[in-house]
Amino acid sequence: MPFTTRAYAASAPGGILQPWSVERRNLLDSDVHLDILYCGICHSDVSQVNQEWGPVNYPIVPGHEIVGRVLRVGPGVTKFKPGDIAAVGCLVDSCGACSACKKGVECYCAKRTPTYNGKVTTGEQYTKGGYSHDIVVKESFVCRVPDALHDKLQGVGPLLCAGITTYSPMMRHSMNRKGARIGIIGLGGLGHMAAQFGRAFGNEVTIISSNPSKKDEAERLLGISNFICSKDPEAMGRAARTLDYIVDTVSAPKTMAMYMELLDVGGVLVTVGLPPHGTEIKIPPSALIFQQRSIAGSLIGGLQETQEMLNFCGEKGITSIVEVVKMQEINQAYDRMSRSDVKYRFVIDMKASGTF
């Protein structure tokens, strides 16, 4: 039988999130029912609640960095059993037949279903995300959480979006090489994950931040001492042609051309930050041509690679550095995130939040 569970939803653009009831479907053959333990708060949640990327189907229940305990499984489920610790990221379905799905990069399927605000069947039904006590998801879109991370579950949810969104382009562009010089623009949720992967790969990591106070913080919390303040033209000038790669995680519009100058010959900038709809990237062709530079983009990652990333995090002991909040504190968390004031990811503790 379908069942209702409690959640937090926004019912209008810019509106506050408040308690809501959502219906979860009856368990299908290949479905997994998760009792949600933690859910991370991604900047994409804030952007979509505020309808920055295009039309949203309200009420919207955000949340795509989900960790939970398996409560029930459908009769056809083979990977999970009740009691297992599992995780769900940004997608809950895809067509399974297109070239992207066949390549295992379901995130590029034109018919992919996002974990929230995704069209399910009729024009009236949309997926509802992880700011909730329960979720029902098709087995093939649920990942295993390695045993080594079971005692660090608060920091695991963000791996499902912030983690895979940075790991995937770093692997695709072969940044996992000892000594590769990697710059990370924006020290927030995605940025601090890229920094941790960079350290695990043996990269020479440089943080490029608009906030000079993050210099000491990066050294203390991430062990990274190379720091450039993007608002300091002299420091930016001194760093010209010192990087092999840049991972851009900034959520706001910016002057991309000045960052391209930091790349050495043949350097690649991968942008993953997604500013409001209508934002354009402006780069003079000479900034690319004369140093053989490239610019690329990347969206989350496929399911197989997400599992690979989780396994890598298990081996290396990598989790997100988090500030744990209760569901009832969500609006203050959004407010702080909008001001880039979070070290480095808010995570909602569902059990500590009571029944709401």
- Choose from Zn ion, ligand NAP, none: what does 43 bind? Cβ within 5-8 Å by kind: ligand NAP
| Contact pick of 97, 252, 265, 352 for ligand NAP (by CB under 6 A) | 252
CB of 30: closest distance to ligand NAP in angstroms? 26
- Choose from ligand NAP, Zn ion, none: what does 77 bind? Cβ within 5-8 Å by kind: none
Sign of torsion over alpha carbons 106, 121, 12, 56: positive
- Compute the C-alpha angle 22/23/27, nearest 5°: 140
- Which range of residues in 12-20, 155-163, 258-266, 274-282 is near Zn ion by CB under 5 A? 155-163
- Name 202's Cβ contacts closer than 8 Å, sequence gap at least 6: 177, 178, 179
SS (H, E, C) 100-167: HHHCCCHHHCCCCEECCCCECCCCCCECCCCCECEEEEEHHHCEECCHHHHHHHHHCHHHHCHHHHHH
Residue type, 180: A
- Which range of residues in 9-17, 125-133, 141-149, 206-214 is near ligand NAP by CB under 6 A? 206-214
CB of 315: closest distance to Zn ion in angstroms? 23
| Contact call for residue 6 and ligand NAP (CB under 6 A) | no
| Contact call for residue 190 and ligand NAP (CB under 6 A) | yes
Subset of residues 261 to 290 that bind ligand NAP, contact rule: CB under 6 A:
272-274
CB of 297: closest distance to ligand NAP in angstroms? 7
The nearer residue to ligand NAP, 87 or 161, going by C-beta atoms, is 161
Q: Which residue is nearest to ligand NAP (CB)?
A: 188
SS3 content of the chain, % helix, strand, coil (to 5): 30, 30, 40
Subset of residues 48 to 107 that bind ligand NAP, contact rule: CB under 6 A:
none
Residue type, 298: S
- Which range of residues in 19-27, 138-146, 250-258, 321-329 is near ligand NAP by CB under 6 A? 250-258
- Which range of residues in 27-35, 52-60, 154-162, 241-249 is near Zn ion by CB under 5 A? 154-162
Rounded CA gap, 31 and 74, in Å? 5
State CA 353 to chain mean position distance. 23
State CA 84 to chain mean position distance. 23
| Contact call for residue 340 and ligand NAP (CB under 6 A) | yes
Buried b (16+ CB within 10 A) or exposed e, 282-306: ebeeebbeebebebeebebbbbebb
| Contact pick of 153, 228, 268, 337 for ligand NAP (by CB under 6 A) | 337
The nearer residue to Zn ion, 42 or 295, going by C-beta atoms, is 42
Rounded CA gap, 42 and 104, in Å? 24
The nearer residue to Zn ion, 47 or 226, going by C-beta atoms, is 47
The residue among 241, 330, 341 whose CA lies nearest residue 291 is 241
CB of 90: closest distance to Zn ion in angstroms? 6
Element (H, E) at 309: helix 303-316
What is the contact surface with ligand NAP in residues (CB under 6 A)?
42-44, 47, 161-162, 165, 186-191, 209-211, 214, 249-252, 254, 272-274, 298-300, 337, 340
Which residues contact Zn ion by CB under 5 A? 42, 44, 161
